[in-house]
């Protein structure tokens, strides 16, 4: 269901300063990001862990860069973009389901919709994140 009472609370604040109560420094946050990336976590999972267990609301406010840019500067960035990876993973799961349940028309329709993600790789190639 859509937003019932406007979008004003959904927008991030323009103020990009580090909160005064945050004890972590720039280097501490970067070290945490590298440590979590070595465990194989995606940038969104890293952001959730930093938010929930370390109190970093927005990594960009503390470091000045987003998590993916920090990972790319050091090297351990993921090969595939997250959105493309999850679409492929979902399509493979539905294909396995359709091998067992051939008459599932709803799953077949969902697979057709998921496989229409041809615009996403074009976007990533255009911006230079995928090298085709």
* Domain residue limits, the chain: 26-74, 82-126
Q: How far apart are CA 40 and CA 128, in angstroms?
A: 23
Q: How far apart are CA 45 and CA 53, in angstroms?
A: 12
Helices (H) and strands (E) in the chain, counts: 7, 0
Q: Are 9 and 53 in contact (CB under 8 A)?
A: no
Pick from 11-15, 32-36, 61-65, 123-127: least confident: 11-15
Residues 6+ apart with CB under 8 A from 62: 18, 22, 24, 26, 29, 56
Q: What is the pTM of this model?
A: 0.72
Q: pLDDT for 65-108, tens place per residue?
A: 889 889 988 877 777 788 888 888 999 999 999 999 999 999 99
| pLDDT grade for 8, boundaries at 50, 70 and 90 | low
């Amino acid at each position: 269901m859509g937003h019932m009472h406007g979008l004003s609370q959904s927008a991030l604040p323009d103020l990009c300063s580090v909160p005064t109560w945050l004890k972590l420094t720039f280097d501490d946050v970067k070290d945490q990001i590298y440590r979590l990336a070595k465990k194989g976590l995606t940038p969104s999972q890293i952001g959730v862990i930093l938010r929930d267990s370390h109190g970093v609301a927005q990594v960009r406010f503390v470091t000045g860069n987003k998590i993916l840019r920090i990972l790319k500067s050091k090297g351990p960035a993921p090969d595939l973009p997250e959105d493309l990876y999850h679409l492929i993973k979902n399509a493979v799961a539905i294909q396995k389901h359709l091998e067992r349940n051939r008459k599932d028309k709803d799953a077949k329709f969902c697979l057709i919709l998921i496989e229409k993600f041809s615009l996403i790789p074009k976007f990533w190639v255009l911006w230079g994140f995928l090298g085709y």
